[in-house]
Amino acid sequence: MNDRVTTLDTSVGYGQTLPQAERQRVLRNTYWLLALSLIPTVLGAWLGVSTGITRSLSGGLGLIVFMGGAFGFMFAIEKTKNSATGIPVLLGFTFFMGLMRSRLIAMVLGFKNGSELIMTAFGGTAGVFFVMASLATVIKRDLSGMSKWLFVGAMVLMVGAIINIFVGSSAGMLAISVAAIGIFSAYMLYDLKQIIDGGETNYISATLALYLDLFNVFQSLLALLGIMGGERD
């Protein structure tokens, strides 16, 4: 990847002036960086599970650490996305996300079939990505109008998830997980279509968006499988 992350001029309209070769370059670089981002995510999750470093981060404390760290990293990524510095900042963010979700993974691994549930969640997430990527290549209409509805849905979902942290309802977690899978699958389609149509021209920003989509689908599938299919010894 170049030292400079190219951001093209889109001031004349959505996807109208971007050459096909440039769109393909952004998409290709996004896929490579997205694949690379999975490595620090796995490392972070492994560190958290093996050391139990995040075990005490529950309830309000866990929420504060997660929200502060996540939004801090996303702010830093936005500031550095037009330079090579943005890549290690993004990878640091993915390590942090893996670390923060190690509590959920450790909980699922506590089930007799925990490893199977994790692999099922991973396979399901990969399947959702394949379907959305396929749809993004065949849908011809502009999906940019979806953004405001998806944003509202994500905000409602976030408020519901925060409330449920303190309520601790299994039924609430089940509903939130199902809704999150639907919303972030749609977000995945939207973000992929943005790249393909030239609406997103920075591959670091594109990678961040797709990573968050995949991460949320995976953790929601994992929580859903844990609630419905976890087998205790």
Q: Give the C-alpha separation, 18 to 5, whole Å.
A: 16
List pLDDT tens digits, range 9-48.
333 344 445 678 888 899 999 999 999 999 999 999 999 9
The whole-number pLDDT of residue 113 equals: 87
List pLDDT tens digits, range 184-232.
999 999 999 999 988 888 999 999 999 999 999 999 999 999 888 766 7
The whole-number pLDDT of residue 13 equals: 43
List pLDDT tens digits, range 116-164.
999 999 999 999 999 999 999 998 888 888 888 999 999 999 898 888 8
**DSSP string for 62-120:** HHHHHHHHHHHHHHHHHHHTTSTTHHHHHHHHHHHHHHHTHHHHHHHHTSTTHHHHHHH
Pick the more confident residue, 87 or 165: 87
The mean of the pLDDT values for the chain is 86
Q: Can you give the residue ranges of every domain in the chain?
A: 20-228
